[in-house]
């Protein structure tokens, strides 16, 4: 292979549009901007401008709010835990916590903690799961399998 023989895949690159290069090009004279006016000039910023009338985004009432203290949990289903245990990525004999889930590739970001949900089936016996939260059905399913979910003590 030689450097002069290397080329891009066909169709990978496209020539830029050369405007203002004569009437025969289709984009000559006004370069596709029409005739005169604000839109034909450079530096136009008129999104949402309504000719001096109060714009619609200011006329309409605002509703709701964003809770800045909201917790964003990573949701992990029991079935996903079971597949990780079956694949040998999670050790069921050791406590399953955020570090173990990250190491096994079950979750990619810890966010504000892990919440266990009950979708799927957990066959592994005596699994100890440390999580920030869990659904009632998930707690029941884990305890039925002989394991337990350890949650942080609720702040009174």
Tens of pLDDT along 89-103?
998 889 999 999 999
Count of CB atoms situated within 10 Å of the CB of 59 = 9
- Return the pLDDT at 155: 52
Is residue 9 included in any domain, yes or no? no
Is residue 105 included in any domain, yes or no? yes
- Return the pLDDT at 154: 65
Is residue 69 included in any domain, yes or no? no
Is residue 35 included in any domain, yes or no? no
Residue of higher predicted confidence among 69 and 92: 69
Domain with 93, as residue range(s), is 74-150
Is residue 13 included in any domain, yes or no? no
Identify the three-state secondary structure at position 4.
helix
Query: Taking the complete model, does pTM exceed 0.85, yes or no?
Result: no
Is residue 134 included in any domain, yes or no? yes
The dihedral through the CA atoms of 76, 78, 83, 85 has a sign that is positive
Is residue 12 included in any domain, yes or no? no
Alpha helices in the chain (DSSP H): 56-59, 78-86, 98-104, 136-144
Rounded Cα gap, residues 144 and 44, in angstroms: 66
Q: How many domains does the chain contain in total?
A: 1
Domain CATH number, residue 124: 3.100.10.10
Is residue 126 included in any domain, yes or no? yes
């Amino acid at each position: 292979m030689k450097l002069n023989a290397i080329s891009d895949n066909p169709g990978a690159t496209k020539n830029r549009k050369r405007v203002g290069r004569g009437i025969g090009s289709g984009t000559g004279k006004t370069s596709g901007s029409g005739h005169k006016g604000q839109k034909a000039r450079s530096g136009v910023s008129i999104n949402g401008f309504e000719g001096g009338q109060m714009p619609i985004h200011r006329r309409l009432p605002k509703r709701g709010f964003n809770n800045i203290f909201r917790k964003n949990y990573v949701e992990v289903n029991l079935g996903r835990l079971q597949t990780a245990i079956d694949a040998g990525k999670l050790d069921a004999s050791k406590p399953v916590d955020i570090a173990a889930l990250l190491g096994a590739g079950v979750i990619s970001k810890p966010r504000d903690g892990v919440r266990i949900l009950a979708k799927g089936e957990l066959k592994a016996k005596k699994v100890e799961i440390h999580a920030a939260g869990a659904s009632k059905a998930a707690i029941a399913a884990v305890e039925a399998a002989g394991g337990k979910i350890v949650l942080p003590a609720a702040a009174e």
